[in-house]
Amino acid sequence: MMHSDVTVVILAAGLGTRMKSRKAKVLHRAGGKTLLGHVLDTALALAPPERVLVVVGHQAGEVRRDAAAAAGGIGFVEQKEQLGTGHAVSICRDAASGLGGYLMVLYGDSPLLRVETLEQLIAQAKGTSAAGVLLSAVMDDPTGYGRVIRDERGNVRDVVEQKAGTAEQLAIREANMGIYCYRADLFWKHIGEIGTDNPAKEYYLTDMPAILSRAGHAVEAMQIADPNEALGINDRAQLAEVDAILRERKRRQVMRDGVTLVKPETITIDSGVEIGPDTVIEPFAQILGRTRIGADCTVGACSIIEDSVLEDEVRVGAFTMVATSHLERGAQAGPYARLRMENHVEAGAHIGNFVELKKTRMGAGAKANHLAYLGDSAIGAKSNIGAGTITCNYDGYAKHPTKIGEGAFIGSNSTLVAPLEIGAGAYTGAGSVITDNVPADALALGRARQVVREDWARKRRARKEASSAR
Q: Which residues are near ligand UD1 by CB under 6 A?
A: 11-14, 55, 57, 79, 82-85, 87-88, 107-109, 145-146, 159, 161, 175-178, 204-206, 232
Residue among 94 and 141 whose Cβ is closer to Ca ion: 141
Residue among 113 and 379 whose Cβ is closer to ligand UD1: 113
Residues 6+ apart with CB under 8 A from 336: 317, 318, 319, 320, 353, 354
Q: Which does 42 bind (CB under 5 to 8 A by kind): Ca ion, ligand UD1, none?
A: none
Q: Which does 32 bind (CB under 5 to 8 A by kind): Ca ion, ligand UD1, none?
A: none
Is residue 370 annotated as part of the catalytic site, yes or no? yes
Name the minimum Å distance from CB 26 to ligand UD1. Answer: 7
Torsion of the alpha carbons at 185, 187, 191 and 197, rounded to the nearest 10: 160
Angle, nearest 10°, between helix axes 35-46 and 60-70?
A: 50
Q: Which does 55 bind (CB under 5 to 8 A by kind): ligand UD1, Ca ion, none?
A: ligand UD1
Q: Which does 9 bind (CB under 5 to 8 A by kind): Ca ion, ligand UD1, none?
A: none
Q: What is the per-residue DSSP string for 195-206?
A: ---STT----GG
Residue among 52 and 304 whose Cβ is closer to ligand UD1: 52
Q: Which does 146 bind (CB under 5 to 8 A by kind): ligand UD1, Ca ion, none?
A: ligand UD1
Cα–Cα–Cα angle for 370, 372, 373, nearest 5°?
155
Longest Cα separation, the chain: 120
SS3 (DSSP) at 243: helix
Residue among 79 and 389 whose Cβ is closer to ligand UD1: 79
Name the minimum Å distance from CB 58 to ligand UD1. Answer: 8
Name the minimum Å distance from CB 141 to Ca ion. Answer: 15
> In angstroms, rounded to a whole number, what is the distance separating the alpha carbons of residues 326 and 323?
9
232 binds Ca ion (CB under 5 A): yes
Q: Which does 108 bind (CB under 5 to 8 A by kind): ligand UD1, Ca ion, none?
A: ligand UD1
- Bridge partners (DSSP) listed for residue 368: 351, 385
CB 179 within 8 A of CB 59: no
Q: Which does 13 bind (CB under 5 to 8 A by kind): Ca ion, ligand UD1, none?
A: ligand UD1
> In angstroms, rounded to a whole number, what is the distance separating the alpha carbons of residues 432 and 294?
40
Name the minimum Å distance from CB 233 to Ca ion. Answer: 8
Other CB atoms within 10 A of residue 87 CB? 20
Residue among 137 and 426 whose Cβ is closer to ligand UD1: 137
CB 43 within 8 A of CB 115: no
Name the minimum Å distance from CB 232 to Ca ion. Answer: 4
Give the closest residue to 80 by CA, choosing from 96, 59, 64, 107. Answer: 59
CB 155 within 8 A of CB 220: yes
CB 15 within 8 A of CB 58: yes
Task: Indicate which residue of 190, 350, 370, 400 is catalytic.
Answer: 370
Residue among 205 and 366 whose Cβ is closer to Ca ion: 205
294 binds Ca ion (CB under 5 A): no
Count of residues that interact with Ca ion, criterion CB under 5 A: 1
Name the minimum Å distance from CB 34 to ligand UD1. Answer: 13
Sheet with 377-379: strands ordered across: 274-275, 292-293, 309-310, 326-327, 344-345, 361-362, 377-379, 402-404, 420-422
Residue among 105 and 355 whose Cβ is closer to ligand UD1: 105
> In angstroms, rounded to a whole number, what is the distance separating the alpha carbons of residues 251 and 169?
41
146 binds Ca ion (CB under 5 A): no
Residue among 27 and 323 whose Cβ is closer to ligand UD1: 27
Name the minimum Å distance from CB 38 to Ca ion. Answer: 16
> In angstroms, rounded to a whole number, what is the distance separating the alpha carbons of residues 333 and 328?
11
Name the minimum Å distance from CB 329 to ligand UD1. Answer: 45
**Burial profile 260-272: b = 16 or more Cβ within 10 angstroms, e = fewer:** ebeebeebbbbbb
Q: Which does 247 bind (CB under 5 to 8 A by kind): Ca ion, ligand UD1, none?
A: none
**Burial profile 333-357: b = 16 or more Cβ within 10 angstroms, e = fewer:** bbbbbbbbbebbbbbbbbbbbbbbb
For the annotated catalytic residues, the residue numbers are 370
Provide the binding-site residues for Ca ion, judged by CB under 5 A: 232
